[in-house]
Amino acid sequence: MKYTLPLLALTLVSTLASASSILVKDADIYASSGLMVKTNLYIENGKIAAIGERTPLTADLEIQGLGMSVTAGLFNSSTQLGTVEVNAIEQTVDFYSENEAVTASLRIAEAFNPRSTLIPHNRVHGLTHSLLVPESATHLFSGQVALVQLGNQPKVIHQSLAVALDFTEHGVSLMGGSRAAALVQLRQALDDAKDFSRNRKAALAGEHRDYVLSYADLAALEPVVNGTKPLLVRTNRASDISTILNLAKDFQLQLILSSVLEGWMVADEIASADVPVIIDPIHNLPNSYESLGARLDNAKLLADAGVMLLFTGMDWHNTHNAYLVRQSAGNAVANGLNKSVAIAAMTTNPAQLFDAPVSGDIAVGDIADLVLWSGDPLEVTSEAELVIINGEIVPMESRALQLRDRYFERLKQ
Amino acid sequence: MKNTFLSTLIVASLLLMTGCSEYPGLDAPATRPNKDPYPSTYIVPDNAAFAILNANVLTGDGAELRDTDLLVRKGKIIALGTNLDLDASVSLIDAKGQWVTPGLIDVHSHMGVYSAPGTANHSDGNEMTSPVTAQVWAEHSVWPEDPQFEKALAGGVTTVQILPGSGNLIGGRGVTLKNIPSITVQGMKFPGAPYSLKMACGENPKRVYGSRNTLPSTRMGNMAGYRAAWIEASDYKKSWDDYISDAEAGKDVDPPSRNLRLETLEGVLQGDIRIHNHCYKADEMAQMIDMSKEFGYEIAAFHHAVEAYKAAPMLAENDICGVMWADWWGFKQEAFDMVRENIALVDYAQACAIIHSDDPIQIQRLNQEIAKAMSAGNRMGLDISPAKAFRWGTYNAAKSLGLEDKIGSIALGKNADIVLWTEHPLSVYSHASKVWIDGALRFDRDDPSVQPTSDFNLGIIKAGAVRP
């Protein structure tokens, strides 16, 4: 562990933002191929050009990385970044709608604000991409899931990766309060979407039967029932997870599970269905009757069963402090998860599953999307020294840092 | 015959009224009502003396001791140093290379008053039926079986202050508990700990009551509400002061009627009850400080003090602690001006800086929250050592509770509230390995028989199983 941190990055990097070549010397590199200890990393024109002995001896920007580490840029796989500024100020909150006429058709990406002050705050701490997941306020279906990149020009990468559905106690409460009633309505919606898909022209011409959901919602569900787009289902109780797995099988849906606080109890079922899960490994409290089995080694037990993990967190700070996904990952490792598996859950796994423009890895030829950490990559006392997103160095600037500097000047007097 | 019967009745009723005074109705002194009607029943368990040897110690009050031994007897730390004189009756724990700290203290928790599961029946923390509810006491809501307590214990938390919520201007009394399993809250109450009073600035009270179209609906309404309460409390205090001085002067006077609401506020004016004030913003802290001077009381701490770094010199000057998170922000406008260096900057300005959780997840790892706050400070060049940072969860927290003479540091004569860690306590990979409270082992990571679980978990967690 390091307690005294070098102060190189804040000043050096901002002056060399345009460096066309970067050499990081002797850092520990965490790649999907394995850990490379005390290894050089050379980046040229935004790409990883060489690793190890073949790196050049000089570069525009040279950083002594001994005792530091490099990982791919971090993903948080469940956030509302760019769609909320202050939660208690409803005018700034766009990640759910109370309009009952808009469910699966809501595209959270259309509300994304690339100038949100939350984005620089998160990227200076190593978050390079995040999944935007809408929340349910009127229906099980909350809308369409997007991927955003948090670089110097934050942008939406994918408008609609999946349709999100809330089958937690909250979602069920919106459908009349019984899981059984919610499932009736869910099957009806999926059947309707299939019917709509088969009779689209007649339906839009008003020459077909009525549906509960709007045409826009049914159109949004069409690729889901046709098996070309995943349904992302938030659910927690072990029996609810099984129910959703069975439903996905019946309807031949692609499925991603989210939250799964009791996932460890049905880990084998999830694994044999080959369904990836988005989880926050920090939870261990019986906060509700759907999470009586929550435990800190949920991530480890799921991974042991062969389930692909994607991480979010930490707890409800998954938007303003979405970078704290790293602390959740560290706690998963403290509770038994393999460290490279934990890092993959924030890098390669989401990059691949969500078809990101970066690899989520550190390999020659890849676009540089990475973080240099002052120490162990999961340690709470490690700080981001250098953040590169999609080949570009990110300036270490944020509203919080401006406030800090303003008041430190006053306190020094 | 008739007269004798009557006079017997009168004597009997006098006895009933005054208790068993030797001279009924005559010399009983005029007093205020009992200040401790729900007393602690906690007793320090009998435990054999033990010593922890060769440990690295963060003392909790700012020092780091390497390769140190400490001896615990009758619940107290009675020796600290090297080559201690230990007789054969002392059991030994070799902690070579391991780290020891005082038990962590969370001065802002709602465990027991917002228990898990978080269902409506467990919502006992906010009496939002009137903006000033100084008459309610958090301890009367605490459910001792809340399964959150045991998880905080596994994180090394030995003392917690349980507060009412922040929906009201004056929310009620807080209580300080030892984090031990008990059937009753009285069994957890920290003997002799002062009571606290929860007050709240800013958005919450004005939102709650403004939405009902009653005062306060504005920040100026907030101030008017507190001040009206302190005026009432000052009058109430005077009525009792007058009663006691008149009675002592031999006058035949009746005591004033009791008023629970004003009794608590009077306790603040007398200096018995400590103000713990939910207050995010620097400008509102200044108003609260002026108000404390207007009515003659002191403020122990500002909680959720997101803008404490702006107010740090004012906090230092008035000896008020800033109680802070490492990084929470943005959920309300008053929490928008967060800096990760908040705790470090308050410490830099030589004010009393404290970490708190207000959260059943983060209370389980206050050590990590301290570590993040330290790291942010070091990143800006403040050079904060782990020993100095650990004060934020130990000595400084004890000071805000008025308990710094009993807990919050590894020092001679202090209560033996001790945590042995698996790794450096400021590492994300570290776990509390053993936790002692008053010298009694309350948690042992390696021994399931010393990992207490709530009645609630029986039948959910299999018998004998341990769930992290």
Q: Would you list the DSSP string of A198-255?
A: HTHHHHHTT-S---SS-HHHHHHHHHHHTTSS-EEEEE-SHHHHHHHHHHHHHTT--E
Average pLDDT across chain B, whole number? 94
Q: Does any domain span residue B443?
A: no
**Looking at the structure, do residues A297 and A198 belong to the same domain, yes or no?**
yes
Pairwise CA distance, residues A242 & A262, whole Å: 11
Stretch B16-37: mean pLDDT: 66
Beta bridge partners of A144: A107, A163
Residue A9 has pLDDT above 80, yes or no: no
Is the N-terminal amide bond of A314 cis, ω within 30° of 0?
Answer: yes
Q: Does any domain span residue A400?
A: yes
Chain B residues whose beta carbon lies within 8 Å of the beta carbon of residue A330? 428-429
Residue A11 has pLDDT above 60, yes or no: no
Q: How confident is the model at residue B27 (pLDDT cuts 50, 70, 90)?
A: low
Residue where one domain finishes, among candidates A353, A379, A400: A353
Q: Does any domain span residue B30?
A: no
Q: Does any domain span residue B347?
A: yes
Q: Does any domain span residue A95?
A: yes
Q: Identify which of B349, B374, B386 has the shortest CB distance to residue A411.
A: B349
Q: Does any domain span residue B420?
A: no
| Domain count for chain B | 1
Work out the minimum CA distance from B139 to partner chain A, whole angstroms: 21
Q: Does any domain span residue A196?
A: yes
Average pLDDT across chain A, whole number? 95
Residue A17 has pLDDT above 70, yes or no: no
Q: Does any domain span residue B43?
A: no
B381 neighbors B429 (Cβ within 8 angstroms): no
**Looking at the structure, do residues A206 and A123 belong to the same domain, yes or no?**
yes
Q: CB–CB of A295 and B327 under 8 A?
A: no
**Looking at the structure, do residues A90 and A238 belong to the same domain, yes or no?**
yes
For residue range B112-152, list pLDDT tens digits in order: 999 999 999 999 999 999 999 999 999 999 999 999 999 99
Q: Does any domain span residue A189?
A: yes
By the CB < 8 Å criterion, does A90 face chain B?
Answer: no
Pairwise CA distance, residues B93 & B100, whole Å: 12
Q: Does any domain span residue A2?
A: no
**Looking at the structure, do residues A49 and A155 belong to the same domain, yes or no?**
no
Q: Which residue of A has its CA nearest to B312?
A: A411
CA distances from B381 to A5, A374, B284, B385 (A): 8, 14, 29, 12
Stretch A110-115: mean pLDDT: 98
**Looking at the structure, do residues A92 and A106 belong to the same domain, yes or no?**
yes
By the CB < 8 Å criterion, does A173 face chain B?
Answer: no
Residue B410 has pLDDT above 70, yes or no: yes
Q: Which residue of A has its CA nearest to B379?
A: A5
| Domain count for chain A | 2
H or E element: which one contains B374? helix B366-379
Q: CB–CB of A3 and B341 under 8 A?
A: no
Instruction: Report pLDDT for A1.
Output: 32
**Looking at the structure, do residues A49 and A178 belong to the same domain, yes or no?**
no
CATH of the domain at B401: 3.20.20.140
Q: Identify which of A88, A288, A403 has the shortest CB distance to residue B331.
A: A88
Q: Does any domain span residue A390?
A: yes
**What is the CA B199 to chain-centroid distance, rounded?**
14
Chain B residues whose beta carbon lies within 8 Å of the beta carbon of residue A7? 379, 381
Q: Which residue of B has its CA nearest to A292?
A: B460
Q: CB–CB of B341 and A285 under 8 A?
A: no
**Looking at the structure, do residues A281 and A406 belong to the same domain, yes or no?**
no
CA distances from A364 to A26, A410, B390 (A): 17, 47, 43
Q: Does any domain span residue B148?
A: yes
Residue B21 has pLDDT above 90, yes or no: no
Q: Does any domain span residue B214?
A: yes
**Looking at the structure, do residues A276 and A191 belong to the same domain, yes or no?**
yes
**Looking at the structure, do residues A244 and A197 belong to the same domain, yes or no?**
yes
Stretch A160-189: mean pLDDT: 98
B160 — phi, psi (to 5°)?
A: -135, 140
For residue range B147-200, list pLDDT tens digits in order: 999 999 999 999 999 999 999 999 999 999 999 999 999 999 999 999 999 999
Tokens of B23: 């001279």
Could you list the residue range(s) of the whole structural domain that residue B265 is in? 103-408
Instruction: Report pLDDT for A3.
Output: 33
Pairwise CA distance, residues A232 & A162, whole Å: 6
HSE-up (13 A, CA, CB side) for residue B274 = 24
Q: Which residue of A has its CA nearest to B329?
A: A320
Instruction: Report pLDDT for A18.
Output: 62
Q: b or e along A71-91 (b: 16 or more beta carbons within 10 Å of the residue's beta carbon)?
A: bbbbbbbbbbbbbbbbbbeee
Instruction: Report pLDDT for B199.
Output: 98
Q: Does any domain span residue B230?
A: yes
**Looking at the structure, do residues A17 and A141 belong to the same domain, yes or no?**
no
CA distances from A243 to A6, A298, B72 (A): 52, 19, 54
Q: Does any domain span residue A51?
A: yes
For residue range A309-361, list pLDDT tens digits in order: 999 999 999 999 999 999 999 999 999 999 999 999 999 999 999 999 999 99
Q: Which residue of B has its CA nearest to A7?
A: B379
Residue A174 has pLDDT above 70, yes or no: yes
CB pairs below 8 Å between A and B: how many? 143
Q: Does any domain span residue A361?
A: no
**Looking at the structure, do residues A83 and A212 belong to the same domain, yes or no?**
yes
Q: CB–CB of B331 and A87 under 8 A?
A: yes
Work out the minimum CA distance from A29 to partner chain B, whole angstroms: 20
B386 Cβ contact list (under 8 Å, min separation 6): A3, B58, B64, B374, B424, B425, B426
Q: Which chain A residues in 308-347 lie under 8 Å from chain B, judged by CB atoms?
A: 315, 317, 319-321, 324, 327, 330-331, 333-335
For residue range B355-391, list pLDDT tens digits in order: 999 999 999 999 999 999 999 999 999 999 999 999 9
**Looking at the structure, do residues A312 and A402 belong to the same domain, yes or no?**
no
Pairwise CA distance, residues A149 & B208, whole Å: 38
Q: How confident is the model at residue B9 (pLDDT cuts 50, 70, 90)?
A: very low
Q: CB–CB of A381 and B371 under 8 A?
A: yes
Give which of B292, B139, B315 is closest to B229, Cα–Cα: B292
H or E element: which one contains A101? none
Work out the minimum CA distance from B188 to partner chain A, whole angstroms: 21
Could you list the residue range(s) of the whole structural domain that residue A44 is in? 8-72+366-412
With a cut of 0.90, is the ipTM above it? yes
For residue range A193-243, list pLDDT tens digits in order: 999 999 999 999 999 999 999 999 999 999 999 999 999 999 999 999 999
